Structure 1
Amino acid sequence: MAQYLTGLDGVFLALADPTRRAVIHRLGHGPASVGDLAREATMTLPSFMKHVRTLESNGLIRTVKCGRVRTCELDRERLAVVEDWLAEQRRLWEERTDRLDQFVTNSTERNTT
C-alpha cells in the first residue's frame, strides 16, 4: 500500500501544475514533439523541459528521441492510478451519504410516529 501511495503522490504532484496538466490534455489527442508542446507554453525551452522530466519521471508520459526530435506520448495506464483512487473515494463518500440519508430518514419517521 505504501508503494501505491508513493506512486499516487508523484502523479498528483505532477498533475498539480497547470503547465503539466496542459501537456497531459494536449497529449490526450495524440503524441507530439517537445518543440510543439513547448510552443504552446509561455516559457523557455529549458524551463519547459523540467515539466517534461517531471511528467516522465512520474510515469505519465513516455518520450522517444528520433534524431533531433523528442516525441512525447501519454501513458494512459498510469492515469488509471488516479482514476482508481478517485473511484475509491467516490465509493466511500457515496456510502457515507447513503448512511446519512438512512439516518435522517429513519429519525424523521421515528419522530412523526
Structure 2
Amino acid sequence: MGFAEIDANYLSDAVLFTTLIKLSAELMWVREFAHEDVVWIGASSNLKKFGIRGNKTSQQFWYDNIHPKDLREATNGYKEVMNDPSAVNYVREYRFKGVGKKWHYIRDKVCFVRDKNGKPIR
C-alpha cells in the first residue's frame, strides 16, 4: 500500500504513526490544515538538532527556518502542489536552519491527504 492509498481516517490512527516511526529514523511532521499547528514526530535527537522543543510548532516555524536562497522555490512548489486537487506527493531538497544557525540539507517528502473534493486536510 502506498501513501496515496491511505485515507484520512487511517492516518489518524496512532498505530500507523507508531509503525511509521519504527520503520524510519527520519523526522516527520503532520500539519492539520484546519489550524496552523505542526506536530513533529521523530527521534528526540533530530528534534533537538532543529531546536524543536516538545513536538509542536507553527507553520511559520517552517517558513522562518528555510534558507533564504531556497525559500521561494521550496514554498512556491509546496503551495502549487497543495493547491492542485489531484496532486498527492511533493518532494523538494533545501537547506533548513538548525541549532546554532547551522544549515542542514534536507529532503522534504510530503504526502497530502485530501477530502473528497480534493481540499487538503492533512
More helix by share: 1
Pair in the same fold by TM > 0.5: no
How high is the TM-score relative to the length of structure 1? 0.26
How high is the TM-score relative to the length of structure 2? 0.25
Q: Which has the larger Rg? A: 1
